[in-house]
Amino acid sequence: MKVYLDNNATTMCDPLVVKAMEPFYSEVYGNPNSLHKYGTAPHPAITKAIDQVYTAINANDADDVIFTSCATESNNWVLQSVWVDHILNGDKNHIITTEVEHPSILSTCKFLEDQGVKVTYLPVNEQGVVEVHTVKSFITDKTALVSIMWASNETGMINPIEEIGKICKEKGVLFHSDAVQAVGKIPVDLQAIHVDFISFSAHKFHGPKGIGALYIKNSQALSPLLHGGEHMGGRRSGTLNVPFIVGMGEAMELATKNIQATMSKIRAKRDRLEDAISELHDTFVVGERNNRTPNTILISIKGVEGEGMLWDLNNGQIGASTGSACASADLEANTVMLAIGADNELAHTGIRLSLSRFTTDEEIEYTINHFKEAVARLRMISSSFAKQAPTKGGEVQECELHHH
Amino acid sequence: MAKADVLGESLWDAYSNKVTTLMNNPQHQGEIFDAEAEARGNKLIVADFGAESCGDAVRLYWEIDPKNDEIVNSKFKSFGCGTAIASSDVMTELCIGKTVQEAVKITNIDVELALRDDPETPAVPPQKMHCSVMAYDVIKKAAGLYMGVDAESFEEEIIVCECARVSLGTLQEVIKLNDLKTCSEVTDYTKAGGFCKSCIKPGGHEAREWYLEDILVDTRKEMDTEKMKSAADAMAAGGGNFEEMTLVQQIKAVDAVIDESVRQFLVMDGGDVEIIDIKKNDRSIDIYIRYLGACGSCDSSSTGTLYAIESTLQEKLSDKIKVLPI
């Protein structure tokens, strides 16, 4: 049996989505900006997709949702254009974000720091959640933007976006949320919650890779990142990617139309998996499951290094993910894991399992068995559970390596 | 970056078949207990290296025949990734049958070579070379315990890059011989820093005592001093006439004199001086200098100190010299 449990990384494109996209490659291929009938032919499909997207996040007609190539582009756009509009050409000099953001936020912030912007990286609590009072205490009259992820890709933990939105509104500070792990997984209602910008991406909810969007409240000013033609009102240039826009609209509708029912189905499977693997001794799962996206588990298994665990799961045809430094190209420990803390262990022993609406009960049962076998094998090899004590003088007093 | 890096290599695809096989089925995983070894009249040595909190840990077991110091059996336990487990396994394999004195000569490079499918193709991608270093370290520790000496006493030289086993001496020599100017040149010439990258600069996978960046700066400083000194020596030997030197030679000569006779006093007071320009006219050679640090605000910089610098330069180089602070 093959089991894909890495849906926070990317998802299978729903066959229904692929079907909706198909006509827009070789049949209806006109450039929507052309005047002739080839150009206008895809208009109804694009209009439908726009409706589907607006409905899915409950955007107002006065708001803009601009299609981008990915959420990385959306995140870069907000940060870089707020810098241009409010820092280079304004009197602000400060951006607030968190230590646990996606690299597309953190690296862009580092880049802005090199340009002289002051950036505050807020810590998270042991739940992996940003606390509202922390956000509040760092906002000054020089703060241009607060950027805080809606839900964490690593832990699935959901930040108090509604409260943070209120504070930002009160203080008159722009608020952006990277909602990549929220849209399509949990309800996102932009009439109920105040956010100026959110970024999201289709491939995280069974849409195609290569398309994302940026929501802009009240069509407010934000300099373009990509300059060019008059596409999407000149806000983001580049010929409209018609099949992907159609696919994104379809995927959003499929993911959100019965979201409560879908969530509870996924949650039941997730909880079954979580309960079963938590029976293993010396394990812990990060974060209250009620405040987590319903598909995510981040579990630390004492004595089992993350890449080794991933290896054994992979041998059993199970795709999962680890934040372990050993599994990364540069051997750098995952900053998110370090920020959550837990004695650094999480940085080496954390395994993330992320389900989707396509995950079956059989797959969960198979995973439970294989997971337990893998832990048993690797713990048998592990020095952490060895019985014979080292020769006097042969023990290790403390970590001799220093990770950053 | 180039074409091959557009997608980048898959980490696991770069492992040799031997690494994969041993990770899936390590041959020497397990423990040896004191009582067992004793019953066979042997001595058990158990050494740890690393810790779970730092991402990899290994425990090495040696059962040694005390009559001839031969390692008759060896096992390991490892908390680590696939390459760490495979490296530990092949390490124990290499130890068995050797005397402790022979085993201590096993390096991480031997371990990596033993993991290769064919002698020309690395067994692991560069960043995983580091896993085999653990094997090297724990062997030294076990040998130290058996022989009752400090593990560091087996180290004959300072190893800067453990992955490629490049010593401080080699690095300094290669930098000087080839006039290397950047860290990446140093890596190209010596392989140091080409693997886990910890030794290039602080902030990498593990903290190191020596970093390539510092070694490069220090070695180049040493090279400059040597050059300056030879320039000054040439001058002292009457081989050079300051007035007929090129501008670069003149600056070097002035700097050498300042370095030798003046700079230490300025630095002592928290200041320094740099040479900005040298301009020659009919009557004099004007040397423009700029004071740095505390000198900038010191009253004496336009009187006593200036006079001292000028008269030293006049005496050592040319009586036509005038020193002008900017």
- Sketch the domain layout of chain B as residue ranges: 3-155, 166-222, 241-325
Structural tokens at position A229: 């033609």
Co-location of A32 and A119 in the same domain: yes
A170 with A317, same domain: the answer is no
Q: Which residues from B are below 8 Å from A396, CB to CB?
A: 48-51, 57
- Contacts of residue A178, defined as CB under 8 A and 6 or more positions apart, other chains included, come to A71, A75, A101, A102, A104, A105, A147, A148, A149, A150, A198, A199
Phi, psi of A292, rounded to the nearest 5 degrees: -125, 150
Contact B79 A345 (CB under 8 A): no
Question: B208 and B182 in contact (C-beta within 8 Å)?
Answer: no
Asked whether residue A234 is domain-assigned, the answer is yes
According to CATH, the topology of domain B241-325 is GMP Synthetase; Chain A, domain 3 (3.30.300)
What pLDDT score was predicted for residue A380? 97
Mean pLDDT of B45-57: 87
CA distance A50 to A253: 11
Touching check for B193 and chain A: CB below 8 Å? no
Q: What is the pLDDT along chain A (404 residues), one digit of tens a residue?
A: 999 999 999 999 999 999 999 999 999 999 999 999 999 999 999 999 999 999 999 999 999 999 999 999 999 999 999 999 999 999 999 999 999 999 999 999 999 999 999 999 999 998 999 999 999 999 999 999 999 999 999 999 999 999 999 999 999 999 999 999 999 999 999 999 999 999 999 999 999 999 999 999 999 999 999 999 888 999 999 999 999 999 999 999 999 999 999 999 999 999 999 999 999 999 999 999 999 999 999 999 999 999 999 999 999 999 999 877 677 666 666 667 777 765 566 778 889 999 999 999 999 999 999 999 999 999 999 999 999 999 998 888 665 444 43
Which of A383, A384, A400 to mutate to probe the B interface, most B CBs <10 Å? A383
pLDDT band at B246 (very low <50, low <70, confident <90, very high): confident
Contact assignment for A403 to B205 by CB distance below 8 Å: yes
Confirm whether A205 is domain-assigned. yes
Q: Tell me the H-state helices in chain B.
A: 3-7, 17-24, 34-39, 82-95, 100-103, 108-114, 129-147, 168-178, 183-190, 212-236, 247-261, 263-268, 304-316
Find chain A residues with C-beta within 8 A of B75's C-beta.
Answer: none
B14 vs A: CB within 8 A: no
Is there a domain that residue A132 lies in?
Answer: yes
Report yes or no: A210 and A238 within 8 Å, Cβ to Cβ: no
Selecting from B34, B58, B141 the residue whose C-beta is nearest the C-beta of A383 gives B58
Number of other residues whose CB lies within 10 A of the CB of residue A112: 18
CB atoms within 10 A of CB A358: 13
Regarding whether A124 and A50 lie in a shared domain, the answer is: yes
The residue among A30 and B243 whose pLDDT is bigger is A30
Give the chain B residue whose CA is nearest to the CA of A344.
B53
DSSP 8-state secondary structure symbol assigned to residue B127: G
Residues in chain B with CB shorter than 8 Å from the CB of A305 are 55-56, 79-81, 84
A313 touches A374 (CB < 8 A): yes
Tell me how far CA of residue B55 lies from CA of B145, B199, B206, B208, in angstroms. Answer: 24, 18, 11, 16
Angle between helices B82-95 and B129-147 (to 10 degrees): 40
In this structure, how many other beta carbons lie within 10 angstroms of the beta carbon of residue B178? 13
Interface of B with A in 119-148 (CB under 8 A): 127, 130, 141-142, 145
Do A187 and A294 lie in one domain? The reply is no
Q: Which residues of B touch A308 (CB under 8 A)?
A: 23, 80-82, 84-85
Helix or strand or coil: residue A21?
helix
In a domain, A10, yes or no: no
- CATH code where residue A332 lies: 3.90.1150.10
Between strands B70-79 and A197-201, the pairing is unpaired
> What's the pLDDT score for residue A341?
65
Listed residue (B130, B128, B133, B162) closest to B13, CA to CA: B128
| Amino acid code (one letter) for B6 | V
Q: Does B200 touch chain A (CB under 8 A)?
A: no
Whether residue B41 contacts residue B26, with contact meaning beta carbons closer than 8 Å, is answered with no
CA distance B272 to chain A (A): 29
Q: Do A284 and A251 belong together in one domain? A: no
End-of-domain residue from the set A221, A241, A256: A256
Among B131, B196, B199, B295, which one carries the catalytic annotation?
A: B131
Number of domains in chain A: 2
For residue B62, give the H/E element and its range: strand B56-65
> Known catalytic residue: B131?
yes
- Residue that is last in its domain, among A256, A274, A305: A256
**ipTM associated with this complex:** 0.88
CA distance A335 to A109: 15
Dist. CA B84–CA B76, nearest whole Å? 11
* Cβ pair B193, B153 in contact under 8 A: no
Give the C-alpha separation, A133 to A164, whole Å: 9
| Same domain (yes/no): A291, A232 | no
pLDDT digits (tens, 9 = 90+) for B66-88: 999 999 999 999 999 999 999 99
Predicted local confidence at residue A106, as pLDDT? 95
Residues A387 and A399: their CA atoms lie apart, in Å, by 20
Tell me how far apart the 2 most distant CA atoms of chain B are, in Å.
Answer: 96
Nearest to A150 by CA among A98, A108, A104, A110: A98
In a domain, A128, yes or no: yes
Residue B304 has a pLDDT of 81
| Residue A400 in domain | no
On whether both A42 and A177 belong to a single domain, the answer is yes
Q: Which of B316, B312, B293, B314 shows the shortest CA–CA distance to B304? A: B312
Q: Which amino acid is at A112?
A: L
Tokens of A72: 């990385």
Q: Tell me, which fold does domain B3-155 have in CATH?
A: Sufe protein. Chain: A (3.90.1010)
The total number of residues written for chain B in this structure: 326
Q: Tell me: do A195 and A266 sit in the same domain.
A: no
Q: State both tokens at B170.
A: 């080699």
Given the structure tokens 């932009």, which residue do they identify?
A190
Task: Kindly report, residue by residue over B126-151, the tens digit of the pLDDT.
Answer: 878 878 888 888 999 999 999 998 88
Both A57 and A105 in one domain: the answer is yes
CA distance linking residue A44 with residue A245, whole number of Å: 12
Interatomic CA distance for residues B138 and B78, integer angstroms:
12
Chain-centroid distance of CA B241 in Å reads 41
Angle at B225 between CA B221 and CA B231, to 5 degrees: 145
Same-domain check for residues A123 and A219: yes
Average pLDDT, chain B: 87
Q: Tell whether B307 lies on the interface with A, counting CB pairs under 8 A.
A: no
Name beta bridge partners: B287: B278, B323
- Chain A residues whose CB is inside 8 A of the B42 CB are none
Position A1 in a domain: no
pTM, two decimal places: 0.81
Catalytically annotated residue among A70, A168, A326, A399: A326
The per-residue pLDDT for A387 is 94
Q: What part of B 205-224 touches A (C-beta under 8 Å)? A: 205-207
Which of A 375-394 lie inside 8 A of B, CB atoms? 380-391, 393-394
**Span B7-49, pLDDT tens digits:** 887 889 999 999 999 999 999 999 999 999 999 999 999 999 9
Which of A236, A256, A276 delimits the end of a domain? A256
Tell me the one-letter amino acid at B153.
S
- Residue B75: closest C-alpha in chain A: A381
Q: Please state, in angstroms and rounded to a whole number, the distance separating the CA atoms of residues B143 and B132.
A: 17
Residues of A in contact with B8 (CB under 8 A): 329
Q: Is residue A9 part of a domain?
A: no
In terms of C-beta distances under 8 Å and separation of at least 24 residues, what long-range contacts does B272-280 make, across chains too? B273/B309, B275/B251, B276/B326, B278/B247, B278/B250, B278/B251, B278/B254, B280/B243
CATH number at residue A223: 3.40.640.10
The secondary structure of residue B41, as a DSSP letter, is T
Domain extent, residue A222, equals 15-256
Q: Are residues A217 and A280 in the same domain?
A: no
- Residue A225: the pLDDT is 97
CA dihedral B71, B72, B78, B83 (to 10 degrees): 80
Quick one: pLDDT at residue A404? 34
